């Protein structure tokens, strides 16, 4: 028996089928018997599933098409420029094989008629936060993954809104389309891993569910790349071991997986069986902040690269001040003309948000990389983030030096007849001096608590 819900007329009913519905295990679309809508959702566990994943469909491109209706039917690519990479592209462009992070020249070869647009991050962030506010109206338990996607825990939806999680998410999906003017896809399941997978099943403007009963069978024939945490390198390693599907991981015990792949093998064991006990965290730690640019022509000159680094550092410092955070490690990123990436970092004495301190460290790192190599990309950033009130401690000796200078000036003005007052103070010990130098930093050291990503 399946529970069904129509997104248009909100009709709810039960139906019996002798075969599974296509696309997403036991859950997919069915026609509504009342309004004939073909997007009614159905699943045997529909009232029970409560972990959702919302993902905006081709977010940047959708925003641009909304604001420029003449581009609705055209292939639109955001980013790229002369030598950059694709930030995102619409679904029309994807039919030609264009994908995010693809070099711009390759995207032009695949889709010569595409419209390339510069990204407008301020506009995208504004719309992203607008969507996030709509999500918070449903539940405070939101875990953003990026500006255009987030997890939601709707376990208490019935008590709070008098509706199931599925009903709340359908309403949210329709509200975003009506008020923001773009579409989003929703995945609903009993944990984060499967919720994220299900949101990709029926894009764009999709709503998919994966329940406990079909999780094992659903995952069995899926490629290992679908598992969270499996990138190109790990995929190659798994393929070299003869593991190409998640079903093959289901047949292995936890000790075998851990022995071969280390701690990530434990994750493979649980995820392959549809198990994920990570909670939806209301906030996640930001690990770094950076700015980078791709050049129109390769550059090898230190003076030119230093000038660009100064501009990037200015942006980073401005962002740090606006977000009221500071970085303890400065990171330099360089990409050579043959696409080889160099990443260098320098740990500072204390967290900082000062532009001159960050630039000085970045230039120190940059000078070591000037060896005749021509670079096509330069980035400057900071990591190991702290609260701004922990940054740039006051120089404890600055006041003493000023005081000594003033005393010297005053002593010159003292005549021989003026009695001199001498105060005999004991000299501080080395331990007392060390204590005074580090007191402010230690008292206010409240580094952001790191989220435990996998709680197995």
Active site residues: 149
Q: Phi and psi (nearest 5°) for 331?
A: -120, 135
The secondary structure element, H or E, covering residue 236 is: helix 232-240
Cβ atoms within 10 Å of 186's Cβ, excluding its own:
24
Contact assessment for residue 313 and residue 346, using Cβ atoms and an 8 Å cutoff: no
| Strands (DSSP E) found in 147-287 | 149-153, 184-189, 207-209
Can you say how many angstroms the Cα of residue 84 is from the centroid of all Cα atoms in its chain? Answer: 20
Contact assessment for residue 85 and residue 102, using Cβ atoms and an 8 Å cutoff: yes
Mode of pairing for the β-strands spanning 325-336 and 28-30? unpaired
Question: What separation in angstroms does the CA of 455 have from each of 51, 208, 240, 264?
Answer: 17, 26, 28, 12
Q: What is the CA radius of gyration of the chain?
A: 29
Contact assessment for residue 66 and residue 182, using Cβ atoms and an 8 Å cutoff: yes
Contact assessment for residue 24 and residue 202, using Cβ atoms and an 8 Å cutoff: yes
3-state class (DSSP) for residue 289:
strand
Whole-angstrom distance, CA of residue 168 vs CA of residue 187: 13
Query: CB under 8 Å to 440, separation ≥6 — which residues?
Result: 393, 394
């Amino acid at each position: 028996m399946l529970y069904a819900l129509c997104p248009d007329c909100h009709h709810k009913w039960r139906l019996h089928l002798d075969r599974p519905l296509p696309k997403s295990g036991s859950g997919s679309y069915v026609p509504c018997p009342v309004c004939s809508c073909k997007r009614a959702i159905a699943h045997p566990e529909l009232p029970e599933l409560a972990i959702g994943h919302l993902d905006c469909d081709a977010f940047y491109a959708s925003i641009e098409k909304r604001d420029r209706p003449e581009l609705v039917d055209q292939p639109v690519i955001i980013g790229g420029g002369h030598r950059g990479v694709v930030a995102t592209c619409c679904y029309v462009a994807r039919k030609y094989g264009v994908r995010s992070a693809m070099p711009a020249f390759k995207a032009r070869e695949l889709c010569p008629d595409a419209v390339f647009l510069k990204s407008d991050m301020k506009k995208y962030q504004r719309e992203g936060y607008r969507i996030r506010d709509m999500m918070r109206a449903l539940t405070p338990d939101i875990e953003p993954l990026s500006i255009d996607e987030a997890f939601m825990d709707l376990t208490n939806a019935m008590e709070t809104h008098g509706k199931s999680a599925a009903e709340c998410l359908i309403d949210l999906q329709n509200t975003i389309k009506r008020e923001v003017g773009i579409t989003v896809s929703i995945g609903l399941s009993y944990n984060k891993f499967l919720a994220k997978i299900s949101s990709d099943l029926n894009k764009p403007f999709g709503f998919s569910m994966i329940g406990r009963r079909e999780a094992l069978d659903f995952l069995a024939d899926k490629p290992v790349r679908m598992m969270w945490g499996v990138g190109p390198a790990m995929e190659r390693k798994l393929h070299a071991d003869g593991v190409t599907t998640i079903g093959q991981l289901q047949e292995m015990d936890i000790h075998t997986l851990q022995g071969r792949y280390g701690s990530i093998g434990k994750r493979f064991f649980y995820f392959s069986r549809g198990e994920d006990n990570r909670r939806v965290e209301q906030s996640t730690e930001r690990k770094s902040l950076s700015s980078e640019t791709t050049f129109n022509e390769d550059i090898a000159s230190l003076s030119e690269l230093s000038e660009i680094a100064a501009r990037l550092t200015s942006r980073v410092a401005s962002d740090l001040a606006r977000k009221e955070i500071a970085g303890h490690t400065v990171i330099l990123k360089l990409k050579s003309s043959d696409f080889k990436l160099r990443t260098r970092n320098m740990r500072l004495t204390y967290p900082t948000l000062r532009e001159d301190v960050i630039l000085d460290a970045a230039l120190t790192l940059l000078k070591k990389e000037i060896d005749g190599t021509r670079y096509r990309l330069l980035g400057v950033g900071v990591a190991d983030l702290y609260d701004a009130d922990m940054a740039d401690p006051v120089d404890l000796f600055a006041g003493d030096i000023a005081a000594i200078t003033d005393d010297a000036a005053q002593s010159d003005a003292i005549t021989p007849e003026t009695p001199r007052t001498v105060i005999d103070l004991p000299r501080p010990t080395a331990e007392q001096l060390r204590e005074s130098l580090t007191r402010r930093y230690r008292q206010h050291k409240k580094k952001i608590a790191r989220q435990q990503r996998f709680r197995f």
